[in-house]
Amino acid sequence: MNQPFEFSYLLDFFPKLLSYLGITLYIVGLSILLGLVVGLLVALPRLYNIPVLKRVSEVYVSFLEERRFSFNCF
């Protein structure tokens, strides 16, 4: 297990890694866009005091906060 790091091994795989850069950036872009849309749908009813949607967004945020806390405990 005490073998030295072979830089040539990394150079052999670098072109293969670059071939997947496009799909990686596509997934990142979609994730950012989806997060922005969901965030706006949750935040806008709370900002503009739309009664029913405000309560729905509060329940949604409360659920996500509780789930995050329970995952961190275990």
pLDDT tens, residue by residue, 3-59: 888 888 888 888 988 999 999 999 999 999 999 999 999 999 999 999 999 999 999
Asked whether 46 and 58 are in contact (CB, 8 A), the reply is yes
CA distance 74 to 71: 5
Q: What is the pLDDT of residue 70?
A: 64
CA distance 13 to 74: 37
**pTM of the entire predicted model:** 0.68
- Domain coordinates of the chain in residue numbers? 21-73
CA distance 34 to 24: 15
Q: What is the pLDDT of residue 33?
A: 98
DSSP, collapsed to helix, strand or coil, labels residue 56 as helix
CA distance 64 to 70: 10
